[in-house]
Amino acid sequence: MSSDTLNSPSADAHKGNQEKIDNNGVDKTQKPQESSTSSAAANGIKGSVKQRADEKSEKTSGAELKKRAKAEKAAKRAQAKEGQHKPLQDVPQPRESKDQAGKSLTNQSPQSSSASNLQHKRRASSSANAQRPLQLRSAQHQPPAPAPELKKESKKVAMFSHLYGTPRRTTVAGAGKDVHPSVLALGLQMSNYVVCGSNARCVSTLLVFKRVIDAYTTPPGTSLPRHLIVHLSAQIDYLVSCRPLSVSMGNAIRWLKLLISRIDPDTPESKAKAELCSAIDNFIRERITAAGQAIASSACSKIQDGDVILTFAKSSTVERTLLEAHRQGKSFRVIVVDSAPLHEGANLARSLISSGLQVQYTLTYTFSHMVQGATKVLLGAHAMMSNGRLYSRVGTALVAMMAKEADIPVIVLCESVKFTDKVTLDSIAINEVAPSEELGYPGTETHEEASAEKWQDSPNFQALNLMYDLTPEEYIHMVITEYGSLPPSSVPVVHRLSTNT
């Protein structure tokens, strides 16, 4: 072989290739193959170091360097975010299926596989971590929760629940600034039964309204007819909060408001106020005082010598009738039937005794024996309904029923101002519920002892204190008014005549 052949370029290349092949037959120019997932961590580290060295040896352009720098920054940011959201404790992850685990291993790069191998060496296998129970923080010592408050038992009787309103006002606290001082005093007197009875309450209300009108001054920019009605409404609201209005009070208030609305706005204020006060005096004189005198004169003629008159509770009209008959020299006896809690009949008996009448006093639970000796029954009225039924103090219906059974005539004395166009069939739809504390205090001697025991707050206990009941018209023999004697069925006719409607 010639020297030219040995020194040819192909020969030199062949010689170089022979040098690159080591004794074991391994080609030194070839890069090491990627290690499998089960290779040692050291092989992975060596491969990565060699790969970095090769990358440094390669010549890269400027665009590739910028691209690589951006990729490194993005990787660092992603790693920083993963570090922020990494939990403090290792929470065991759910085990993957074999197929998913195989896919994840085949898709890993040499760097990720090497990192996973290092992590595998640092701590135990993931299966051990998965079986480790989750560490729970010990519960902090907390004070025991307070026991829930028991719901307060309702003391309202379900059948009469619609009659329970706001509790009665017993003080002037919270009253409006426009309420007149005389109205404040009257409201408390009504609430405490100092002023009691339909006629007494009606007269007192009208007299107080006279004082309100005298002290009234029309504000600038308004008229008396409009503003005075608004001013009176504040007084009426206060009275209602102390105790519900009686039928006679309601009729009188409607009459007064109608009178105010008819005043000419051009009328001087002083003249208008004087006319209103004069009209109030005439109303009291004609509809209450004179009407009561006419009724007493008419009813007095029904009383004969030797009669035994039975009455219930206290009625100012009945009292006037009995006193008038006594002044006429008639000889008769009176049985006063009374009931708790007001015991109004005791005041009537005291008044009759002081005038020289012969009086017997009893309570409702013993009067069944007394009614047998009576000849007539005289009853007062809180109101007369348009269907002829008597609305009066609770217990009146019982007395009328017992008198009807004994064939004793029942005569009702009632002014037309107490007539109403309302129709009711029982004492459930319309009534007044008084505080249950007024019923009495069983087992105690004084009010202070009962207040200390608070017996009305006992469990499973409900007290009902109704003020009125309804007497059917078949128990009533006659109704005497200022228009004369009439049957109960004529009540609506008299009501239309008295109101001019």
Cα–Cα distance for residue pair 412/400, rounded to 1 Å:
10
Q: Are 318 and 293 in contact (CB under 8 A)?
A: no
Q: Letter for the amino acid at 182?
A: S
230 Cα distance to chain centroid: 28
Each residue of 43-66: pLDDT tens digit? 544 555 455 545 544 555 677 788
Compute the distance between CA of residue 392 and CA of residue 447 in angstroms, rounded to an integer. 28
What averages of pLDDT result for each successive group of 10 residues across the chain (501 residues)? 42 43 43 42 49 51 79 83 54 45 44 44 44 52 61 79 86 89 96 94 97 95 93 95 95 96 94 96 96 96 95 96 95 94 93 95 88 94 96 95 95 96 91 85 50 62 90 96 94 88 53
**Predicted pLDDT of residue 65:** 81
The model's pLDDT over 217-255, given as tens digits with 9 standing for 90+, comes to: 999 999 999 999 999 999 999 999 999 999 999 999 999
Q: Which two tokens stand for residue 9?
A: 């370029």
- Say how many CA atoms lie within 13 Å of 184 toward its Cβ: 11
Q: Please enumerate in sequence order all residues whose Cβ is within 8 A of that of 147, keeping only pairs 6 or more positions apart, or say none.
A: none
What's the DSSP call for residue 363? E
Q: Residue 468 corresponds to which tokens in the numbers above?
A: 């009125």
pLDDT at 146: 65
Query: Cα separation of 275 and 268, whole Å?
Result: 11
Cβ neighbours of residue 399 under 8 Å, at least 6 residues apart? 310, 312, 337, 364, 367, 371, 377, 379
Residue 176 has what pLDDT? 86
Query: H or E segment at 102?
Result: helix 98-106
| Residue 488 CB contacts under 8 Å (≥ 6 apart), including other chains | 384, 388, 389, 390, 412, 473, 476, 479
Helix, strand or coil, per DSSP, at residue 223? coil
